[in-house]
Amino acid sequence: MDLSRAEWRTSSFSGSNGQCVQVAFLDGGDVAVRDSKNAEGPALIFTPGEWRAFVDGAKGGEFDLA
């Protein structure tokens, strides 16, 4: 998939050390995620349903380490 025209967003919660992920919302509803330290490296592509499940899980505390 060609992501050269994707508009990548960086979280406002990312630290000053530059370690974070970036997200791009693609045509067709898919979502791309990449490592900001390796912008030319691979990206993961999620369907709208997969992305929604992740966001809902994060909001619901599913991934909390406690």
Question: Domain residue spans in the chain?
Answer: 9-59
Q: Across residues 45-59, what is the average pLDDT?
A: 97
**pLDDT on residue 27:** 92
Please tell me what DSSP assigns to residue 63.
T
Does pLDDT of 8 surpass 90? yes
11-48: per-residue pLDDT in tens? 777 766 667 889 999 999 999 999 988 989 999 999 99
Q: Which residues have a Cβ under 8 Å from the Cβ of 23 and sit 6 or more positions away?
A: 8, 9, 11, 31, 32, 33
Burial of 43 (0-12, 13-18, 19+ CB in 10 A): buried
Report the pLDDT value the prediction gives residue 15, as an integer from 0 to 100: 67
Spatial distance between the Cα atoms of 49 and 44, rounded to a whole number of angstroms: 14
Q: pTM score, two decimals?
A: 0.83
